[in-house]
C-alpha cells in the first residue's frame, strides 16, 4: 500500500456533491459514496477535516437575488450546511470512524462550537472533523471558510471535490473541446476568472502558499489517489511552490 503524501488535509465539498443526480436535497447513495471515500483515506493514516456547503438545500446568494435580505439569506445558507454536516457525520460514523462536528454558529445541542485548538486535538486523536456554518459571517462563502479553516488547523492542502476531472478552460459539460489544466497558479485562476473557488478564498491561499487540488469526487478511490500522490485533477499553487514532482 502506498504511503500518503499528506499528513493532514482539508476537503472542501459543495452541498451539490451530496445531491447526486437530483435537483435538491441529499441522495443516500451519493452520501454513502462520499463517506466511503473519506473513510478510505482516513484508514491509511491521513488526518481529515471537511468543510461542506449547503447549496443542495439553500443558497444565500440565490435568496438575496429573489429579494431577501442578503445577511438573512446567508444565515439560512449556513443552517443548510449544518444539515449536510450532520448527514455526513452520521454516514461516516456508520462506517466505524469517529467524528466531531463543529459549527461557526453555536448550536450546542447537535454540534460543538468551532474552537481551533479543540479541532486540532480531535484530528490528533484520529477523529474526522467536519466544519459547518461556513465562517459564521454573512457575505463569506464556504470556499472562504475552507481556506480559513485549512490555514487555522495547519492543513497541508485543500482537496476540492467536484463533478468533473479538474479545472477546465471552459465548461466541459457544455463544450466538447474543453481542455483541462494540469497546473495553475493562483494568479492564473484570478486573471482567467476560472470558477474554482471565490476570489477571497484563492487570495487567502495565495497569501499563505496553501496548495489546492481539484479532482473528480465521483470516481471511485480518486481521493485516495490524490493523497497518495497520483497525478489526478488540477494542482493550483504558486509558480515556485508546491509541485507534482514532490509527490512522485
> Around 181, how many Cα atoms within 13 Å sit in the side-chain half-sphere?
21
Q: Looking at the predicted structure, is the pLDDT value of residue 62 above 80?
A: no
Q: Looking at the predicted structure, is the pLDDT value of residue 2 above 90?
A: no
**pLDDT on residue 100:** 98
Question: For residue 206, what is its C-alpha cell?
Answer: 495565495
Q: Is residue 24 part of a domain?
A: yes
> How do strand 234-236 and strand 183-184 relate by DSSP bridges?
parallel
Q: How many CB atoms lie within 10 A of CB 171?
A: 10
Q: Is residue 137 part of a domain?
A: yes
Q: Is residue 2 part of a domain?
A: no
The pLDDT confidence band at residue 248, using thresholds 50, 70 and 90, is low
Chain segment 14-24, per-residue pLDDT in tens:
999 999 888 88
Mean pLDDT of 54-71: 83
**pLDDT on residue 236:** 97
Q: Looking at the predicted structure, is the pLDDT value of residue 47 above 60?
A: yes
Question: For residue 139, what is its C-alpha cell?
Answer: 457575505
Q: Looking at the predicted structure, is the pLDDT value of residue 140 above 70?
A: yes
The pLDDT confidence band at residue 11, using thresholds 50, 70 and 90, is very high
Q: Is residue 109 part of a domain?
A: yes
Q: Looking at the predicted structure, is the pLDDT value of residue 1 above 70?
A: no
Q: What's the structural domain count of the chain? A: 1
CA–CA gap between residue 117 and residue 96 (Å, rounded) = 24
Share of the chain above pLDDT 70, in %: 97
> Around 242, how many Cα atoms within 13 Å sit in the side-chain half-sphere?
23
Q: Which residue has the higher pLDDT, 2 or 194?
A: 194
Q: Is residue 88 part of a domain?
A: yes
**pLDDT on residue 61:** 72
Question: For residue 115, what is its C-alpha cell?
Answer: 474552537
pTM assigned to the model = 0.94
Mean pLDDT of 13-40: 93
**pLDDT on residue 3:** 83
Domain of residue 226 covers: 8-247
Radius of gyration of the chain (CA): 17
CA–CA gap between residue 150 and residue 131 (Å, rounded) = 11
Q: Is residue 70 part of a domain?
A: yes
CATH number at residue 102: 3.40.1160.10
- H/E/C letters for each residue in the chain? CCCCCCCEEEEEECHHHHCCCCCCCCCHHHHHHHHHHHHHHHCCCCEEEEEECCCCCCCHHHHHHCCCCHHHHHHHHHHHHHHHHHHHHHHHHCCCCCEEEEECCCCCCCCEECCHHHHHHHHHCCCEEEEECCCCCCCCCHHHHHHHHHHHCCCCCEEEEECCCCEECCCCCCCCCCCEECEECHHHHHHCCCCCCCHHHHHHHHHCCCCEEEEECCCCCHHHHHHCCCCCCEEECCCCCCCHHHHC
* Phi, psi for 29 (deg, rounded to 5): -65, -40
Q: Is residue 1 part of a domain?
A: no
**pLDDT on residue 243:** 75
Chain segment 72-121, per-residue pLDDT in tens:
999 999 999 999 999 999 999 999 999 999 999 999 999 999 999 999 99
**pLDDT on residue 101:** 98
Q: Is residue 3 part of a domain?
A: no
Q: Looking at the predicted structure, is the pLDDT value of residue 240 above 90?
A: no
Q: Looking at the predicted structure, is the pLDDT value of residue 195 above 90?
A: no
Amino acid at each position: 500500500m502506498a504511503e500518503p503524501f499528506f499528513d493532514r488535509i482539508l476537503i472542501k465539498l459543495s452541498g451539490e456533491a451530496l445531491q447526486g443526480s437530483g435537483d435538491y436535497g441529499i441522495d443516500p447513495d451519493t452520501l454513502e459514496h462520499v463517506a466511503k471515500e473519506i473513510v478510505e483515506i482516513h484508514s491509511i493514516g491521513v488526518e481529515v477535516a471537511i468543510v461542506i456547503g449547503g447549496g443542495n438545500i439553500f443558497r444565500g446568494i440565490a435568496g438575496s437575488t429573489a429579494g431577501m435580505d442578503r445577511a438573512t439569506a446567508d444565515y439560512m445558507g449556513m443552517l443548510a450546511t449544518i444539515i449536510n454536516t450532520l448527514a455526513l457525520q452520521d454516514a461516516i460514523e456508520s462506517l466505524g470512524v469517529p467524528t466531531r462536528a463543529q459549527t461557526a454558529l453555536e448550536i450546542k445541542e447537535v454540534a460543538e462550537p468551532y474552537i481551533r485548538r479543540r479541532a486540532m486535538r480531535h484530528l490528533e486523536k484520529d477523529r474526522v472533523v467536519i466544519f459547518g456554518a461556513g465562517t459564521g459571517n454573512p457575505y463569506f462563502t464556504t470556499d472562504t471558510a475552507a481556506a480559513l479553516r485549512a490555514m487555522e488547523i495547519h492543513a497541508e492542502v485543500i482537496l476540492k471535490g467536484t463533478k468533473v476531472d479538474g479545472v477546465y478552460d471552459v465548461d466541459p459539460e457544455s463544450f466538447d473541446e474543453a481542455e483541462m489544466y494540469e497546473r495553475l497558479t493562483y494568479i492564473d485562476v484570478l486573471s482567467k476568472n476560472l470558477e474554482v473557488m471565490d476570489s477571497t478564498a484563492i487570495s487567502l491561499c495565495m497569501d499563505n502558499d496553501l496548495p489546492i487540488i481539484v479532482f473528480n469526487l465521483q470516481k471511485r478511490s480518486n481521493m485516495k489517489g490524490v493523497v497518495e500522490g497520483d497525478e489526478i485533477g488540477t494542482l493550483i499553487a504558486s509558480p515556485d511552490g508546491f509541485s507534482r514532482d514532490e509527490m512522485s
